[in-house]
Structure 1
Amino acid sequence: MNAIMTQCKFEMIRIFRNPYFVFWTLFMPILFYFIFTNIVNTGVPDQGEWQAYYLMSMTTFSVMGSAIMNFGIRMVQEQTEGWSTFMKLTPFPSWAYFTAKMFGQLTMHLLSIIIVFIAGFLINGVSLTIDQWLFSGLWILIASIPFLAIGSLIGTMKKVETAGGVSNIIYLALASLGGMWMPIRIFPDFLQKVAEWLPSYHFASGAWEIILGNVPDWRSFLILIGYLIVFMLLATYIRGKQEN
């Protein structure tokens, strides 16, 4: 257990030193939140509701970026630098190493949630009940796991440059088409139908429902679990083929 906790500590230090984490996970979501709730005139009559809604959008945007980009690219870096091979030669079991990586990444997700929530409160004085703060944060933390599966799949790539380019495309496409930047109701009908099958939409949708006093839709649970299973199986299969 001590070895796992030590590895978790190392993982968190490495994440903080990663410029992708600071830029995409913290700076960009907070900047977007400020711009679209204080500078851009969205024409929304209830500004308080919009500020809370968009805070959930930017928090999920932040956490999704950390899961897809930081986690996936870091795995490719470790592979190309020989770190993964070195760890296989140590007594530290591979399952414990992967557990430490997952735990460290989820800890960063929790930290991102807290920081973006605090930014929303400081910038706009977003007011939610304690239950809404807690349950929306818990939903975002748990529902981020399928995006770690996407990060694991990206982590099977051979080159850091390729992983960086692909993860950027996936991240930005999921964010824009999933309604994290702007509500999908302003999309054309066919794009709305596409959005309703994307994990990013259901990730953010759960948080939106919670701040409205509802519970996440059951379809959101099923679709996120489905994506988790598919991407974990793909990542496991590809990694197994690479090791043979």
Structure 2
Amino acid sequence: MNTTYLSLEIKRIVRSPQFTVFTIGMPLAMFLLFGSIFGKLVAPNGLASNVQTMISLAAYGASGGALFTGTRVAQERTDGWQRQLRLTPMRGPGYLVVKVLSAMAVALPVLVVLFAAGLAMGVEMTAAQWGLVLVSLWLGVLPFAVLGLAIGLFGKGDTVGAVTGALMMPLGMLGGLWIPLYVLPDWMATLAHFFPTYWLGRVGLEPLAHAGGMGLAVVVLAGWLVVPALIVVRRFRLDTARL
């Protein structure tokens, strides 16, 4: 893996205005809004609603940041960057690894900003709980990084951003990250189980709620990781074979 290229890739993403506005600004604004609306409620799992809202919207922001990395992949395909890679020492697997790691790196500051906002708004957790939730969410974002890469390898530079943005709406709303599921109709709570964002939220809440099902959440997210990863490998091989 080329660490210089990885560092350059992360800097390019972080310096983008879209990263600040959409990846960090939007979930932060939603947390400030929903946190004030639901902040005094107590969830059925016994957690204060502001805690659950912070974790859910941190999961939403981090997963969105990872997904949007695919837009750069699509643009590079459109610009012929993958063709240029064949003239460099970097091979295909190294390119894919850099893209996934850059997506993971982008997700981390989103989590940190949302957690800092939660702390400022009175979210109370022990130091160990803060750390466990942060690590759980960050590792849980990995399937979204690979899924974003898959979307980027199939789309074009001028359309993938719109497709990803449209995808994030149902992932956040129907996955139970925008509004707590316990205030929604039962059919929406059932539907949420079919979205990876629901399971990411479960992984983030488990260090606090201890509701069980952590193993199932990990297995489901692993499935969302493996299937897109197989698609990514096959698609990339087809792309490079045509170059």
| Alignment TM-score, normalising by the size of structure 2 | 0.89
Compare 156-165 and 166-175 and name the one that shifted more.
156-165
1:181-192 equivalence runs, <5 A? 181-192=178-189
- Quote the offset at 1:182 in angstroms: 0.8
User: Are 2:47 and 2:209, in contact at CA under 8 Å, matched by a contact in 1?
Assistant: no
Question: How many angstroms does 1:241 deviate by?
Answer: 3.0
> C-alpha separation between the residues in 2 aligned to 1:36 and 1:153?
32
Query: Is 1:204 aligned to 2:184, yes or no?
Result: no
Give the C-alpha shift of residue 98 in structure 1: 2.4
* RMSD (Å), alpha carbons: 2.2
| Matched-pair contact (CA < 8 Å) for 1:176–1:182 | yes
Partner of 1:101: 99
Question: Which residue type is aligned with residue 92 of structure 2?
Answer: S
SS of the residue 1:58 aligns to: helix
1:174-226 alpha-carbon deviations (Å, 9 max, x no partner): 11111000122333333322211211000011112222356662110111011
2:76 is matched with which residue? 78
1:222 pairs, out of 197, 201, 219, with 219
- Please state whether the residue corresponding to 1:160 is helix, strand or coil: coil
Partner amino acid for 2:58? Answer: T
Give the aligned residue type for 2:33.
I
C-alpha distance in 2, partners of 1:203/1:48? 17
Name the structure 2 match of 1:243. 240
Give CA-to-partner distance per residue, 1:25-66, whole Å, 9 cap, x none. Answer: 21011111111122x367625898111111101110110111
Map of 2:144 onto structure 1: 147
User: Which residue, out of 14, 18, 21, partners 1:20?
Assistant: 18
Aligned residues: 239
Say yes or no: does 1:173 pair with 2:173.
Answer: no
| Separation in structure 2 between the aligned mates of residue 80 and residue 238 of structure 1, nearest angstrom | 15
- Identity fraction in percent: 26
AA partner of residue 223 (structure 1): V
Q: Amino acid of the residue matched to residue 227 of structure 2?
A: V
CA distance in 1, matches of 2:87, 2:5: 16
Partner residue in 1 for 2:231: 234
**Structure 1: runs of 5+ lacking an equivalent:** none
2: CA distance, partners of 1:150 / 1:102: 10
Q: Distance in 1 between matches of 2:52 and 2:39?
A: 13
Structure 2 residue 160 is matched with structure 1 residue 163:
yes
Partner Cα distance (1:89, 1:133) in 2: 45
Report the AA paired with residue 209 of structure 2: L
What's 2:56 paired with? Answer: 57
